[in-house]
């Protein structure tokens, strides 16, 4: 029994190395479209199995000292090579993650811009723009209403009385009114704004969505990156245009327009599951994005 245990103990190291080599090889070979492993894992598994075979007593008995030294040198060099490969793969992964975060940040901002402009289009026309060309035309069109309600009515001078007495004016009347009152236009505007004048402004002017929200000053004020109309509808890495689908759903007895916009080329490596960024749905009337921030 003691001799049996002694003989069996000679194979423990080899068995351990062989099993340790099989595990990473199997794990590497199991990589599919959702998960892949670095090539260094395959080489590491092969190296461990090679050392496990060399460590078998039957093999060691047949190897002379010179061959053993050569194998030792090969093993050391192989270990150094694998170590370098691991370090390089870690550095590559860090750089990859930095690039991924950068690309996704720009992609998410473009999806947000598309969503906000589509919501503005819906507020004006009741529907979403059917394609990006139509959306771009809308962004520059002077169709966004800007309502001015400046100055409040009160019991002594209510809305009806103000209208009859000519105290309700439009923006275009301020210059002539200021001239008649012999004051500066800005001063008149300030008095109305501060409710220190019987005059009230009730007016609606029109501007473009771009002028109101996408100029350099508007983006800076909103703490957003600069906007490019030519780049908005494209993936920043692949240059492919985002996919957009429209639909309608019945909600509470009313038909509601729906929209779904998706990144066609998610950033990532081959054979690795990628996060497909998108917002909205064609089955539900919402415009939620699937990103984390």
The domain locations on the chain are: 2-97
State residue 214's pLDDT score: 96
State residue 41's pLDDT score: 65
Phi, psi of 262 (to 5 degrees): -135, 145
State residue 76's pLDDT score: 58
Q: CB neighbours of 234 closer than 8 A, spacing ≥ 6? A: 110, 240, 241, 242
State residue 33's pLDDT score: 43
Q: What pTM was computed for the model?
A: 0.66
State residue 124's pLDDT score: 95
DSSP string, the chain: -HHHHHHHHTTHHHHHHHHHHHHHHHHHHT--SS----HHHHHHHHHHHHHHHHTSHHHHHH--HHHHHHHHHHHHHHHHHHHHHHHHHHHHHHHHHHHHHHHHHHHHHHHHHHHHHHHHHHHHHSS--SSHHHHHHHHHSEEEEEEEEES--BTTB-HHHHHHTT-EE-GGGHHHHHHHHTS-HHHHHHHHHTT-SS-EEEEEEEEEHIIIIISHHHHHHTT-----TTTTTB-TTT-PBPEEEEEEEEETTEEEEEEEEE-SS----TTS-----EEEESSSS---B-S--
State residue 39's pLDDT score: 63
Could you read off the pLDDT tens digit of each residue along the chain, which spans 293 residues? 444 445 556 667 667 767 766 776 776 676 544 445 566 666 767 776 777 676 666 766 677 667 766 765 776 566 566 656 655 666 677 887 888 889 999 999 999 999 999 999 999 999 999 999 999 999 999 999 989 898 888 878 888 888 889 999 998 999 999 999 999 999 999 999 999 999 999 999 999 999 999 999 999 999 999 999 999 999 999 999 999 999 999 988 899 999 999 999 998 877 677 789 999 999 999 999 999 76
């Amino acid at each position: 029994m003691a001799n049996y245990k002694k003989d069996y103990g000679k194979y423990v190291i080899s068995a351990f190395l062989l099993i340790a080599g099989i595990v990473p090889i199997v794990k590497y070979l199991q990589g599919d479209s959702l998960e892949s492993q670095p090539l260094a894992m395959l080489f590491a598994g092969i190296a461990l199995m090679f050392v496990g075979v060399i460590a078998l007593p039957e093999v060691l008995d047949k190897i002379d000292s010179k061959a053993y030294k050569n194998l030792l040198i090969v093993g050391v060099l192989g270990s150094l090579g694998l170590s370098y490969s691991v370090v390089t793969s870690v550095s590559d992964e860090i750089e990859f993650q930095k690039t991924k975060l950068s690309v996704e940040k720009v992609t998410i901002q473009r999806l947000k811009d598309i969503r906000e402009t589509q919501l503005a289009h819906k507020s004006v026309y009741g529907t979403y723009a059917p394609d990006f060309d139509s959306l771009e035309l809308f962004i520059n069109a002077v169709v966004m209403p800007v309502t001015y309600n400046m100055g409040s009515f009160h019991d002594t001078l209510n809305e009806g009385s103000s209208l009859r007495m000519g105290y309700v004016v439009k923006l275009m009347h301020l210059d002539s009114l200021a001239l008649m009152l012999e004051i500066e236009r800005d001063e008149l505007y300030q008095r109305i704004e501060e409710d220190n004048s019987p005059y009230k402004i009730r007016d609606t002017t029109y501007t473009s969505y771009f002028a109101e929200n996408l100029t350099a000053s508007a983006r800076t004020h909103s703490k957003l990156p600069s906007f490019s109309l030519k780049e908005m509808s494209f993936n920043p890495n692949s240059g492919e245009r985002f996919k957009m689908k429209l639909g309608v759903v019945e909600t509470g007895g009313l038909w509601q327009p729906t929209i779904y916009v998706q990144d066609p080329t998610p950033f990532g490596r081959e054979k690795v599951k990628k996060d497909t960024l998108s917002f909205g749905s064609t089955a539900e009337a919402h415009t939620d994005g699937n990103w984390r921030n």
